[in-house]
A and B are shown apart, each in its own frame.
Chain A
Amino acid sequence: MRRPVAVRVVGPVQWIFIPALIALAATILLATPVELFGLNLPEPVIPMVLAFAWALIRPSIVAPVVLTALGLFLDVFWYGPLGLWPLALLAIYAVVLGSRSFLIGQETAVLFVWYAACCGLAFLIAWLVTSFLASNPPSILALLGQVAPTLLLFPFADRMVERFEDGDVRFR
């Protein structure tokens, strides 16, 4: 008699909604007006981590919708034009989704290069859209000041991929 195999099910709550809420809370926390020795808190675009990791973990209909909601929150919270960050985040998700078969199982260094490239694409889209809407290109130095802390968040994306990629045996 065969013993029943325990199927571990990881639902959207675990790998989508809880990380999304954490990203939202961290964004609000980092917007606290703190100034020490003339320096402010960094302001990375935390949902970019989720856009990269979610597409690698598993294709989903919920993930793009939640990414759009997160992007809209960033637009309202940071007083940007509505639609700017949803477009940038969806660009990351689309690129990673398209290259998913290539990326799965790759080394961490390869994933980081891909993450950096995707973040660069998203920031380029945001820069172009802002330049067009404001008729005034944002400063490149200020842009690098936001790109750098966003790239430093890659370990969180890597950790999410490691934790959830094979979490649900039905998707192996």
Chain B
Amino acid sequence: MAFRDGPFENLKVPLVWTAAVAVVVCAVGAILLLLSDQRAPASPYSGARSGVETVAGPVGGVLSAPVRWFGQISDGIGGYFFAVSENRRLKRQLAELEPWRDQAIALKNINARYEAMLGIRPEPPVPMVTARSVSDSRGPFSNARLLDVGSARGVKVGNPAINEHGLVGRIVGTSGGVSRMLLLTDVASRTPVLVDRTDARAILTGDGSGNPRLEFVRGVDSVQPGDRILTSGDGGAFPRGLPIGVAARGVDGSWRVKLFSDRGAIDYVRILMFEDFGQLVDPEALNAPPLAALGTLSDATPEQAAAVEDAAARRAAAAEAALERAAAAAAASPPAATPAPAPSTGGAE
């Protein structure tokens, strides 16, 4: 029996109802997706995200190519017509910076000597890879960029990204040739920072606006307008000392940061291959029990042994001399005061 011959032959469902049912089903699906996705690399949908980004990256690269060419042409024209004034400005700037350069060289030298004297192991240089921004999302709900390098060039989730002015963001997703960079202004971005002047710690929290907030500022009056804000390195996600911006009061009275990275277009960035503190030393050495390295020490040379014995003998002699001095001082001192007898008379002596 055909369906139309059955009892449902004259059944007609209004189109609005079927559309409403479709809306409800899709909305329930969207809510379930919201509950199950956390935008984290461990999300079950990270593969789908990577797939879309792998396709969107080259498309964005093609679309941004004319913009880049136009920018290069306009830069060339501007450079041609303003070469003289630019030359004067650069000469003046060079004259101002030369004393700073000499001072930086001297400080670097002194710093290296201090590090050698104190036995400090400085952080090794962090390798970098240059990337170009090919797509951009700027709304209040997400601030992220697609970069045209990915895991094939060694980029990993968590790597910080900087431009020529300061910290821009960090990598939150990678595929073969494309990676996703979360900007400092994103609503999900949290960055441990310090105030350069007072060394006070705070958390830089993005909210979708151009100037992220400074939250959890430690200390009273530890921030002033104009203070430089740097990465603190706390937690190990970022190296310490990357410039971020300057502190300023927002219209709502909260502390905000004017980002250095906004001084120019974020078209090219450098991705630091910095993961965390664990890469600076051998992880096995970190996990070793205390003083385990003593067993790996080589035998002391005769000179070292003599120096050690000499130092030990001197310490023993010094301790013995101190004991003798203490004993002599105890013998020479008057006996412990006894309670004076009560005066029997008027006390005239």
Cβ contact within 8 Å between B22 and A61: yes
For the complex of A and B, 3 pairs with smallest distance between CB atoms: A83-B33, A83-B34, A139-B209
Measured in the bound complex, the distance between the Cα atoms of B13 and A59 in whole Å is 12
Size of the chain A interface, CB-CB below 8 angstroms: 55
Q: Contacts A59-B16, A68-B30, A137-B207 known; list 10 others, CB within 8 Å.
A: A33-B267, A63-B22, A64-B23, A64-B26, A76-B48, A76-B53, A81-B37, A86-B30, A137-B187, A143-B208
Total interface residues on B, CB under 8 Å, equals: 61
The docked-state distance in angstroms from the alpha carbon of A34 to that of B20 is 40
A155 within 8 A of B: no
- A17-64 residues at the B interface, CB under 8 angstroms: 28-29, 31-35, 40, 43, 45, 55, 58-61, 63-64
In the complex, residue of chain B having the shortest beta-carbon distance to the beta carbon of A69? B26
Contact with B along A106-140 (1 / 0, CB 8 A): 00000000000000000000110110011011110
| Chain A binding surface SS class | helix
Chain B residues in 8 Å Cβ range of A126: 141
B residues apposed to A, CB below 8 Å: 14-16, 18-23, 25-27, 29-39, 45, 48-49, 52-53, 56, 59-60, 63-64, 67, 133-142, 144-145, 172-173, 180, 182, 187-188, 205-210, 265-267
Does B19 contact A136, Cβ atoms closer than 8 Å? no
Determine whether the beta carbon of A32 is less than 8 Å from that of B136.
yes
A139 and B67 in contact (CB under 8 A), knowing A28-B56, A31-B135, A83-B34?
no
**Does A156 sit within 8 A of B, measured CB to CB?**
no
Most chain B beta-carbon contacts within 10 A, residue among A28, A34, A84, A146: A34
Report yes or no: A32 in contact with B142, Cβ–Cβ below 8 A: no
Which of B20, B25, B136 has the most A CB atoms < 10 Å from its CB?
Answer: B136
* Distance between A166 CB and nearest chain B CB, rounded to angstroms: 16
Q: How many whole Å from B151's CB to the nearest CB in chain A?
A: 17
- Within 8 Å by CB of A79, from B26, B39, B207, lies B39
Q: Is the CB of A64 within 8 A of B22?
A: yes
